[in-house]
């Protein structure tokens, strides 16, 4: 896909000059996705009690194929499960492709796109003390440098089909952790 995009840009540049090639790139950026070749990941976490038994789920989609992954923990927090869902989904990738992550967790989205820079500058500390779940944030930080990732927040429980599937996976795992 990248080769195709570069070829199209080269043809536009040769035929119509820099401005046409620039507009083509801008139009691709305005489309809220990286490319047709990007892996789409929808994640969610759940917890019964906080702390308590919890679960995480992720739906990965690439080239028309879908894969569901899920897991849980007998004693955890909702935020840990939200982070774990994204981490496990990224760890499951076996190709170097652009990635788009959708999460209904502002903790995850703001954490990885905004807050993490200050935490790292302050030695993984926040204004109120230690960064919670620091080991998970460090894992996510490392994984986020392996891929070109576009982060999206999606409103939870608002009917988005893939977010709802990730939620169901997380809730199922929470129930399994509670029972067993």
- Mean pLDDT, all residues of the chain: 86
With bands split at pLDDT 50, 70 and 90, how would you rate the model's confidence at 14?
Answer: low
Q: Which of 14-18, 51-55, 163-167 has the lowest mean pLDDT?
A: 14-18
- Whether 145 is catalytic is no
User: In whole angstroms, what separates CA 51 from the centre of its chain?
Assistant: 23
Given 40, 45, 57, 73, which residue is catalytic? 45
Q: What is the mean pLDDT of residues 160-168?
A: 96
Residues 6+ apart with CB under 8 A from 2: 35, 37
Decide if 45 is catalytic: yes
Residue 142, phi then psi, degrees to nearest 5: -65, -45
Catalytic residue check, 164: no
**How many degrees, rounded to 5, is the angle at CA 103 between CA 100 and CA 132?**
115
pLDDT per residue as tens digits for the range 130-145: 999 999 999 999 999 9
Give the pLDDT band (50/70/90) at residue 86. Answer: very high
In the predicted model, what is the mean pLDDT of residues 7-23?
A: 44
Q: Active-site residue among 4, 49, 91, 157?
A: 157
Q: What is the mean pLDDT of residues 62-87?
A: 97
66 catalytic? Reply is no
Q: What is the mean pLDDT of residues 18-22?
A: 38
Cβ partners under 8 Å of residue 10, min gap 6: 21
44 is catalytic: yes
127 pLDDT band, cuts 50/70/90, is confident
- Cα 32 from chain centre: 14
Answer yes or no: 73 catalytic.
Answer: no
**pLDDT for position 157:** 86
Q: CA 153 → CA 44, 77, 111, 149, distances in Å?
A: 11, 20, 12, 13
Residue of 40, 55, 104, 111 with catalytic role: 104
Report the Cα 141 to chain-centroid distance in Å.
Answer: 12
The one catalytic residue among 44, 55, 71, 111? 44
pLDDT at 19: 39
């Amino acid at each position: 896909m990248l080769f195709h995009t570069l070829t199209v840009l080269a043809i536009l540049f040769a035929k119509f000059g820099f401005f046409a090639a620039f507009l083509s790139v801008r139009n691709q950026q305005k489309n809220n996705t990286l490319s047709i070749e990007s892996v789409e990941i929808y994640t969610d976490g759940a917890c019964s009690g906080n702390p308590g038994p919890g679960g995480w789920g992720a739906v990965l989609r690439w080239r028309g194929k879908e894969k569901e992954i899920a897991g849980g923990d007998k004693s955890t927090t909702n935020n840990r499960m939200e982070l774990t869902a994204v981490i496990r989904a990224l760890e499951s990738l076996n190709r170097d492709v652009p990635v788009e992550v959708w999460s209904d967790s502002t903790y995850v989205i703001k954490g990885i796109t905004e807050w993490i820079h200050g935490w790292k500058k302050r030695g993984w500390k926040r204004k109120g003390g230690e960064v919670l779940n620091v080991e998970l944030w460090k894992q996510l930080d490392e994984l986020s440098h392996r891929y070109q990732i576009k982060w999206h927040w999606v409103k939870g429980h608002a009917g988005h089909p893939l977010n709802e599937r990730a939620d169901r996976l997380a809730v199922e795992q929470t129930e399994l952790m509670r029972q067993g």
